[in-house]
Structure 1
Amino acid sequence: MNYNQLSMDLFFEDKTRIVRKPQNTPRVISLFSGCGGLDLGFKQSGYKIVYANDFDKDAQRVYRENLGEIDDRDILTIDNDEFPECDILIAGFPCQPFSTAGSRLGVDDERGNLYLECLRVINAKRPKVVVFENVRGILSVKNQDGSKLIDTIRESLEELNYNVEIKLLNASDYGVPQNRYRVFIVAFDSKYDKRFVFPSPMRKNESQTVGAVINIPEEVPNQVSWDLSPQSASMVPFITEGGSWKDIPYEHLPKRLKKIRDNMKKYRSPNFYRRFARHEINGTITASAQPENCGIIHPIENRRYTIREVARFQSFPDDFIFFDDTSSDIVGMYKVIGNAVPPKLAKVIADEILYQFWNHI
């Protein structure tokens, strides 16, 4: 499929409403684009990406292969007049400093202040709509003065005259085959006197289960996996479908995990090496793709999920291409897929903005 040539006569239709093409196709600036999960959802909804930027080389390769050109410069070096005019700005500014699985450096990490670059572009280009996406850890990150970063972001957008709505969403509530919690910030220019209303959760279905996701035809590309470490490879065979590290006999655990097993209460009963069953919805796919920290072990084979399998859990279509020529490519692809916004969730938000904003101005 060529995502640049989608029909824009009818964006989507359900039992209660029809969302039709606006008179002028909404133009999108995408910042911190990654490999293009957020952008793909907006393209599928009919928007036109007029500019994208990301500094990560692996993400750039994937983006160019599937979605088109991307500016590979450091955003700190780009002047305001180099950004094109736009109707909407979307951004998944770097989330690692805020991740509950990471170091929680927050705004002490220089990446934690990159949202200010988004605000700079917003102030310069005055888009009608702004969409930010981030991990749920951002809700509790504090500035150096003790105030909450999420409140600072809200107040900064309000000072720029935007009506701001913030909500924690679970991607599986919107058709994505993965329990993945992410914060969305949607802001409408206040001069239009509108506020975004987040869509209600949808009914989960069989297509979201692990068994449905891993049922992949042989001809689909990127069905290669990153080998487990020797330590993981020695433990994974003991884990039953639907189980975890608790299935591994004590004598087969490394010293560090024995220490945790000896005092589970102290370590808050962690659930390492989760192996989701075929009837379950998978847990969050992370950028590190480590079996200890995320559910990335195949339910019945003793391996990581393949690149295509993790892409499917993130709701990328099978004709969205990744790279797997060498071991470094493979590791890089797990990283960019794990960092991405699920396109299916992005499209739900994009569709709602079309209906709530562009169909009513």
Structure 2
Amino acid sequence: MTYREGRTLTVLSMFSGCGGMDLGFVQAGYEIVWANDIDEDACATYRRNIGEIHEGDVRNLEVPNIDDLDVLIAGFPCQPFSNAGNRRGLEDPRGQLYRICLEYVERLHPKAVLLENVRGILSIRSEKGTLIEEICSRLVDIGYEVHFKLVDATEYGVPQHRLRVIIVGVKRGIAPSGFRFPRPIEGMDLRLRTCLDVPPGTPNQNDVIRLNPQAMYLGSLIPEGGSWKDVPYDLLPDRLKRIRNNMRRYRWPNFYRRYHRDEIAGTVTAAFKPENAGVWHPTENRPLSAREIARIQTFPDDFVFVGRSVKAIYSMIGNAVPPRLARTFAEMLGNVLRGVPVDLGRPLVAYSQLGKRPIRPSDPEIVFDRPRRESTEESGRPVPHQLDLFEVTEAC
């Protein structure tokens, strides 16, 4: 199936937040025909920059009646699966929202699906094995060829080490030439310094989150490129002394990170706390501004964030999908849907062939082939290796 020249591709967006993923698709020429989020501040920002959005709990909304939908995108809430969140997994009510995404897919039958979430979904257990197995199996049942990969956002031009699982489903028969994840973007300067030269008067540059006096004092003691390990022991608060005394027990944490201007930034988080994110400006005695972290997330300077508090603005930026990452995948899906030949030079690995080790960003993309779950005694067949993934420390 191919599209006539000039056909505008359509997108339905779930859990849209302030619109990071949506913006990437808009930049790639798509039309957003429906979007939703529950957060009031994120919705206000979305309307300010992108367009109309249905505000409210998606569980209370009717599935829209959209014919011939091209792509459904969703970054369902990640806090239940992230060590920076509560890590309650499927026990958290938000941990069930991925099923709403799958219900929308089953009702609307878009030609392609793009889901994004934290690495923790690879190790969360569900009734059907792991959460990644449940999601992929359901998409296969509905009629999709499903690929997924753990990606580092730096591979796609984002100046930030941000590990995310990307799941792509393409309706069978849509991509006769095949399907692959886009190749990494090479040659871009991703150093933190590229995000810091903000012109005066740029929106949100004066929005700087306020930290408590103790955090500001500790931050002032940390040199560019350093962390809490550079603070003299006798100047640490008691709780950090206890951790320093038993680093092995606490898994060698690296709190209060102040990245060097020539480093690539770490993950921008929704909480933006000194103990789980590199919040400090490399040379000034302050946290990074909202505009600076928006640049690290690849939002353009004319994208204006609005909210009832500076904290709300930081949270929506940290929760967003980097637009540059989203645009890369939007362009790839656009080529697939228009019948443009796909670069098949990158390797694939079948899910059932993976050994018992964690998935890494350097691994090939994975095509889901529904591994069998019968035991050898019951079926007489050998059981394929299943993923045995350990929990990881990461930020949402």
TM-score (norm: length of structure 1): 0.90
**Cα drift, residue 102 of structure 1:** 2.1
SS at match of 1:320: coil
CA distance in 1, matches of 2:306, 2:140: 41
1:334 corresponds to: 314
Q: Report the residue type matching 2:191 in the other structure.
A: T
Give yes or no for the alignment of 1:209 onto 2:172. Answer: no
**8 Å contact kept, 1:186–1:196:** no
Q: Which one of 37, 41, 62 corresponds to residue 54 of structure 1? A: 37
Larger deviation: 289-298 or 97-106?
97-106
Secondary structure of the structure 2 residue equivalent to 1:359: coil
Residues 172, 204 of structure 1: 8 Å contact kept: no
- Is the 2:113–2:169 Cα contact (8 Å) retained in structure 1? yes
Matches of 1:202 and 1:21, distance apart in 2: 28
**Gap change, CA 1:22 and 1:114, over 3 Å in 2:** farther
* 2:350 aligned partner: none
Paired position in structure 1 for 2:364 = none
* Residue from 333, 337, 346 that aligns with 2:326: 346
Whether 1:321 aligns to 2:304 is: yes
Q: 1:163 to 1:252 in 2, by over 3 A?
A: same
1:155 aligns to what?
A: 137
Matches within 5 A, 1:116-195: 116-143=99-126, 145=127, 147-194=129-176, 195=178
Query: How many angstroms does 1:21 deviate by?
Result: 7.9
Separation in 1, partners of 2:149, 2:231: 38
Q: How many equivalent residue pairs?
A: 336
For residues 21 and 271 of structure 1, do their structure 2 counterparts lie closer, same or farther at Cα, with a shift above 3 Å needed? farther
Query: SS at the partner of 1:288?
Result: coil
Query: Post-superposition shift, 1:360?
Result: 3.9
Once residues 257 and 291 of structure 2 are traced to their aligned partners in structure 1, the CA distance between those partners, rounded to angstroms, is 20
Taking the aligned partners of 1:173 and 1:21, their CA distance within structure 2 comes to 32
Output the amino acid matched with 1:349: F
Distance 2:225 2:11 in 1: 42
The residue aligned with 1:285 is 268
Preserved contact between residue 222 and residue 306 of structure 1 (Cα < 8 Å) = yes
1:250 to 233, 246, 260: 233
Which whole-Å CA distance do the structure 2 matches of 1:293 and 1:319 have between them?
28
- 1:109 aligned onto 2:109: no
Task: Look up the SS of the partner of 1:322 in the other structure.
Answer: coil
Q: CA deviation at 1:59?
A: 0.7
Cα root mean square deviation, aligned: 1.6
Residue 218 (str. 1) matches residue 200 (str. 2): yes
**Sequence identity (%):** 48
Q: Secondary structure at the match of 1:179?
A: coil
TM-score (norm: length of structure 2) = 0.82
Give structure 2 stretches of 5+ with no counterpart: 342-396
Quick one: which amino acid aligns to residue 212 of structure 1?
Answer: T
Secondary structure of the residue aligned to 2:95 is helix
Give the letter for the 2:241 counterpart.
K
1:359 equivalent to 2:342? Answer no
Q: Deviations over 1:147-199 (max 9, x none)?
A: 10000000000010100000111111111111111111110111325553112
Could you tell me which amino acid in structure 2 is paired with residue 140 of structure 1? Answer: S
Aligned CA distance change for structure 1 residues 44 and 197 (closer, same or farther; 3 Å): same
SS in 1 for 2:7: coil
